[in-house]
């Protein structure tokens, strides 16, 4: 088969940017590239205890107003008053200094007040969730855009992404129309859009060879349609992911057949050996189980471990089911499980513990889990009944996910 893919990476490779476009994009986005402005502030914080009464809050506010009057009268004493009165353990010892910060790093009322001040100015009393603040803006660090040369690679990549997204929207219609109108070949759409026609051999209904991730189940289903096989026409443009279209066509089709022994001899031998080995393991395991049940304890038993349905340990599901369903009136008891090509497992049951009563929360969770399982089982049974009644066969295998 052959196929072509139209996606963003393919389009990006075709885009060539000129110097003027990249520089213009840099200048238009200089502010964004520079990041945000940073400011440095100091504050005096008087905290509000949880559940503070209105009278006590008024007293704290009065103290804050008094401190505000003092720092406005003598701004040079701000750090001194912060060390003496601020209740912020992180900044009081440093004279209230909070160092530089950008927007979004602090609570909103505090941020709004800081970014409204001019350098050296002192705010009114600001109330936040932490209490009452008196703020002095001590410095402003203007945002500086990185140099053009330092940003060039990132700018070009971003520009190409943007242009390829716009270009994809323009080319998608052309891709759709061309694979439909020139349905006997993929070369016309490849030539028109500068795409690569890829060839693949050994594609089945269920899987494509490794390295061809674009050939998902929707593409394979379209490839094995009667029109694609009999007429060797292009499939329609199939969306296999965001901004990703695929069209394919059958070049050569081999109908299902029974392969001659000469082609599959090695596989037949492997399967026969596996089947016969499983039969011999089952016979030997059943003999060991019978001997154990008559009192001859086998050698090679593993370490004893406690298991339950919700804590199976390392036991496979079929072995756990046999253990939990085995008679336990007389201990020790024995059970065995044939596991196909994995052999035969013999298990000795030495102890049975009653299930611990579940607490209310666990009991509720378990009931919810059982309801979910029951609903899933009923839904599956309903669908199976519909398939039998309507004589439906689903030919496409269920996705692995």
CATH at 83: 3.10.50.40
| Same domain, residue pair 133 and 53 | yes
pLDDT of residue 362: 77
| Same domain, residue pair 123 and 78 | yes
Nearest to 222 by CA among 396, 387, 10, 7: 396
pLDDT of residue 367: 87
Q: Which of 249, 275, 299 is the last residue of a domain?
A: 249
pLDDT of residue 144: 67
| Same domain, residue pair 40 and 137 | yes
Q: Which of 249, 277, 306 is the last residue of a domain?
A: 249
pLDDT of residue 283: 95
| Same domain, residue pair 41 and 135 | yes
Question: Is 254 within the bounds of a domain?
Answer: no
pLDDT of residue 4: 96
The answer to whether the beta carbons of residues 8 and 97 sit under 8 Å apart is no
Question: Is 114 within the bounds of a domain?
Answer: yes
| Same domain, residue pair 344 and 385 | no
Question: Is 157 within the bounds of a domain?
Answer: no
| Same domain, residue pair 235 and 319 | no
pLDDT of residue 32: 66
What's the structural domain count of the chain?
Answer: 4
| Same domain, residue pair 207 and 112 | no
pLDDT of residue 401: 56
| Same domain, residue pair 228 and 267 | no
pLDDT of residue 34: 61
Which regions in the chain score pLDDT beneath 50? none
Q: What domain range includes position 61?
A: 36-141
pLDDT of residue 51: 86
pLDDT digits (tens, 9 = 90+) for 276-319: 999 999 999 999 999 999 999 998 898 899 999 888 888 999 99
pLDDT of residue 33: 67
**What are the backbone dihedrals phi and psi of residue 138, each rounded to the nearest 5 degrees, phi first?**
-100, -20
Cα–Cα distance for residue pair 11/28, rounded to 1 Å: 24
| Same domain, residue pair 45 and 137 | yes
| Same domain, residue pair 305 and 388 | no
Q: Which of 249, 276, 309 is the last residue of a domain?
A: 249
Question: Is 216 within the bounds of a domain?
Answer: yes
| Same domain, residue pair 239 and 267 | no
Question: Is 240 within the bounds of a domain?
Answer: yes
What pTM value is reported for the model? Answer: 0.45
pLDDT of residue 354: 84
Question: Is 57 within the bounds of a domain?
Answer: yes
Question: Is 312 within the bounds of a domain?
Answer: yes
pLDDT of residue 35: 65
| Same domain, residue pair 46 and 130 | yes
pLDDT of residue 369: 87
CB within 8 A of 252, min separation 6: which ones?
A: none
Question: Is 228 within the bounds of a domain?
Answer: yes
């Amino acid at each position: 088969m052959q196929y072509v893919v139209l996606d963003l990476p393919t389009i990006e490779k075709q885009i060539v940017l000129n110097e003027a476009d990249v520089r213009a994009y840099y200048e238009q986005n200089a502010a964004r590239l520079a990041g945000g402005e940073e400011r440095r502030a100091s504050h005096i914080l008087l905290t509000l205890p949880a559940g503070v009464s209105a009278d006590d809050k008024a007293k704290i506010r009065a103290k804050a107003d008094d401190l505000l009057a003092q720092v406005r009268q003598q701004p040079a004493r701000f750090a001194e008053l912060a060390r003496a009165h601020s209740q912020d353990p992180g900044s009081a010892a440093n004279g209230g200094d909070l160092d530089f910060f950008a927007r979004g790093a602090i609570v909103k009322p505090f941020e709004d007040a800081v970014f409204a001040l001019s350098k050296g100015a002192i705010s009114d009393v600001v109330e936040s969730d932490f209490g009452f603040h008196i703020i002095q803006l001590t410095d402003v660090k203007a945002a500086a855009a990185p140099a053009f040369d330092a940003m060039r690679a990132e700018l070009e990549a971003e520009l190409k992404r943007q242009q390829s997204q716009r270009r994809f929207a323009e080319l998608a219609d052309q891709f759709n129309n061309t694979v439909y109108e020139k349905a006997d070949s993929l070369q016309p759409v490849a030539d028109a859009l500068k795409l690569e026609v890829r060839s693949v051999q050994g594609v089945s209904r269920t899987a494509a060879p490794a390295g061809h991730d674009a050939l998902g189940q929707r593409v394979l289903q379209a490839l094995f349609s009667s029109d694609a096989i009999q007429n060797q026409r292009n499939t329609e443009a199939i969306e296999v992911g965001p901004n990703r279209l695929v069209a394919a066509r059958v070049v050569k089709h081999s109908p299902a057949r029974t392969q001659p022994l000469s082609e599959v001899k090695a596989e037949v031998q492997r399967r026969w050996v596996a089947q016969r080995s499983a039969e011999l393991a089952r016979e030997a395991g059943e003999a060991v189980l019978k001997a154990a049940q008559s009192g001859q304890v086998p050698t090679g038993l593993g370490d004893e471990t406690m298991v339950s349905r919700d804590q199976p340990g390392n036991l496979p599901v079929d072995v756990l089911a046999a253990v939990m369903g085995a008679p336990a009136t007389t201990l020790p008891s024995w059970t065995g499980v044939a596991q196909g090509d994995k052999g035969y497992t013999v298990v000795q049951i030495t102890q049975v513990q009653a299930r611990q009563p579940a607490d209310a929360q666990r009991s509720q969770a378990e009931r919810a889990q059982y309801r979910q399982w029951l609903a899933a089982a009923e839904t599956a049974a309903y669908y199976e009944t519909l398939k039998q009644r309507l004589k439906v066969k689903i030919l496409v295998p269920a996705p692995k996910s």
